[in-house]
Amino acid sequence: MLEVRVFTGGQQVEQIAPEAISSHVGRSGELVWVDVVGPTEDDLACITGEFDLHPLAVDDVRFRNQRPKVDLYPSHAFLVGYAHDEDPLDLPEVELFVGPNWLVSVRSPNGAGRVFDVRPAVERFERTSGDGAGVGFFLYTLLDDMVDGYFDTVEGAEDRLASIESSLFRAYSNDRGAEAGEQVIAALDRELQGELLHIRRTLIALRRKVVPMREVVLVILRREIPWIEDRAILYFQDVLDHLLRVVDEIDTQRELLGNIVDAHLALVANRTNDVMKKTSGWGAILIVATLIAGIYGMNFRNMPELEWRYGYFGALGTMLVTTAGLYAYFKRKGWI
C-alpha cells in the first residue's frame, strides 16, 4: 500500500495520487511524504522512478533484516531502523529515504504482520513543528518515536527480572514443610530456566538493534546529510541521549540477569549442601548400629559375649542409645 501526503508549514494539506509526486517534488515550502506499507515490486518501482533511488538501497528494502545503518547517495540518504513491538525478538523494520524536501518511509511487517505505527509521530509533527519545518524535523519525529518505544521493552524486562529475583529468594527463604518447600523450589527452577533464557535472548536481540542506531544519529549530528535543517539538528541530540539511556539500561539488565543466575546457582549449591548434610547425618546415625550388627554377625566361634545371656538385648540397647544420641546431636547442629 502506497500513500502520498503533502505538508506545508508543518501541516498536512492534501493527499495526492502517486502520479502527481513529480509536480510537488522540489516545490518550495512543501514537504512530500510517501508512506509504503508492505512494499510490493510495483511500489518499489514507483518510488524508484519518482525519486531516482539508488538500486543498492532498493535491494536492501527487498531483503529484510538489515543491520541499522545509514547510507549516503548523491541525491538522497537511506536509513534502516527498527520500531518497538510487543515481541522484542521480532521488531518491525523501517526504511527511510531522505531527500531535499521529501521523505519515503517503507514499513515492513514483522513475522506477526505488525508494522510501525506512524500516526503518533505524524500527529506530533503537525502539532509541534510550526512554520519552516522541513524534512529534518519530520525525520526527527519518526526516529524519536521509534527510539522511545525501546524503553517499554527494557522496562518490561526489568520488571520481570525484579519479579524473578523476589520469587527466587522468597522460595528459598520461606519456612515451609520440607516436602512442600522442595516441590515449590523444583517448580520454580523449571520455570526460571525458561524465563531467564527468554529475557537473555530479548536483551541480546534488542541490543543488536539499538547499538547501531547510535551511528545513524551521529551521522545526522555530524551534518553528513545535507538536507537536514539546522533547526532540526539540535533535536537529534535528544534522540542520541535516549539511545544512550536505552543502551545503559540494557547493559544494566544484562548485568542484573547475570547476578540472578549467579544467585540462583549459589542457592542451588546451598540446597545441595543441605541435602548432603542430611544424608551424611543419617548415614552417621545408622553406621554405629550397622557396625554393631556387622561385628556380631560374623561367624567366628570364639567371640566374646556370644554366650552371654543378655547379649542380644545389650546389643539392641547399645544400638538404640547411640542412634538416639547421634540423632539428638545432629538435630541440634541443624544437619537433619
The domains of the chain are located at 270-333
Does 307 score more than 60 pLDDT? Answer: yes
The CATH class that applies to domain 270-333 reads mainly alpha
SS3 of the chain: CEEEEEEECCEEEEEECHHHHHHHCCCCCEEEEEEEECCCHHHHHHHHHHHCCCHHHHHHHHCCCCCCEEEECCCCEEEEEECCCCCCCCCCEEEEEECCCEEEEEEECCCCCCCCCCHHHHHHHHHHCCCCCCHHHHHHHHHHHHHHHHHHHHHHHHHHHHHHHHHHHHHHHCCCCHHHHHHHHHHHHHHHHHHHHHHHHHHHHHHHHHHHHHHHHHHHHCCCCCCCCHHHHHHHHHHHHHHHHHHHHHHHHHHHHHHHHHHHHHHHHHHHHHHHHHHHHHHHHHHHHHHHHHHHCCCCCCCCCCCCCCHHHHHHHHHHHHHHHHHHHHHHHCCC
52-84 tens-digit pLDDT: 899 999 999 988 888 999 999 999 999 999 988
230-250 tens-digit pLDDT: 888 889 999 999 999 999 999
Rg, C-alpha atoms of the chain: 35
Average pLDDT score over the chain: 83
Does 180 score more than 60 pLDDT? Answer: no
Distance in angstroms (rounded) separating the CA atoms of residues 239 and 216: 11
Cβ distance 105 to 111 under 8 Å?
Answer: no
If pLDDT is split at 50, 70 and 90, which confidence band does 176 have?
Answer: very low
pTM summary value: 0.75
Q: Which comes out higher in pLDDT, residue 45 or 180?
A: 45
The pLDDT assigned to 178 comes to 45
251-270 tens-digit pLDDT: 888 888 888 877 777 777 77
139-165 tens-digit pLDDT: 999 999 999 988 888 888 888 888 777
If pLDDT is split at 50, 70 and 90, which confidence band does 132 have?
Answer: low
The pLDDT assigned to 189 comes to 66
Taking the alpha carbons of 323, 326, 328, 334 in that order, is the dihedral positive or negative? Answer: negative
- Residues 6 or more apart in contact with residue 242 via CB below 8 angstroms: 144, 147, 148, 151
Q: Which comes out higher in pLDDT, residue 321 or 187?
A: 321
C-alpha cell at 266: 549459589
Cβ distance 92 to 116 under 8 Å?
Answer: yes
